[in-house]
Amino acid sequence: MSRSIIAGALLALSLGAAGAAQASPATDDFGRCLVKATSPADKTSLMVWVFTALAAHPAVKPYASVTDAQRAQVSAAAARLLERLITQDCRHEAVAALKSDGPNSIQQAFTMLGQVAVAGLAQDPSVATAMMAVTSQLDMAKFQSLAVEMMNSAPAPK
């Protein structure tokens, strides 16, 4: 399996909330296997990897203090987990998905895992509170104006 396929899977994992293309039943089975085969600790490890990778972006870097050593350690742990998931825990499903949908099946299956992992982290009360903090900064009058406009306009053509 090429590194570009794995890179695509990792990108899908990091963008877990993004929509996936239509997958075959084999790829859906592979995604469900990935979700089932990962413990809550595994899902957290994957999201820590995503965070450390995203923290390397110049726009985000000033807000995160991830050392190169930490990033290397987290990446190594994520690599071992991905190897286990694809080549051991979900091997049969991975082979079937690759036969059915080709290399994109890896990305699609990891998108499913990413969605579950992100949802799990977002359910933590401290994360939910931090995410909701943006609402205190919204100008609600602008949203009320939008609601009034929506109620007073004709329905959109179908």
pLDDT tens track of the chain, all 158 residues?
A: 555 555 555 555 555 444 445 679 999 999 999 999 999 999 999 989 988 988 999 999 999 999 999 999 999 999 999 999 999 999 999 999 999 999 899 999 989 988 888 888 888 889 888 888 888 888 989 989 998 999 998 887 77
Which helix (H) or strand (E) covers residue 98, if one does?
A: helix 91-101
Nearest to 10 by CA among 1, 40, 123: 1
Give pLDDT, residue 17: 41
Give pLDDT, residue 130: 87
Give pLDDT, residue 2: 55
Helix (H), strand (E) counts: the chain: 8, 0
Q: Are 35 and 118 in contact (CB under 8 A)?
A: no
Q: Can you tell me the distance from the alpha carbon of 90 to that of 29, in angstroms, rounded to the nearest whole number?
A: 9
pTM for the complete prediction?
0.72
The sign one gets for the Cα dihedral 103, 109, 113, 116 is positive
Q: Are 1 and 93 in contact (CB under 8 A)?
A: no
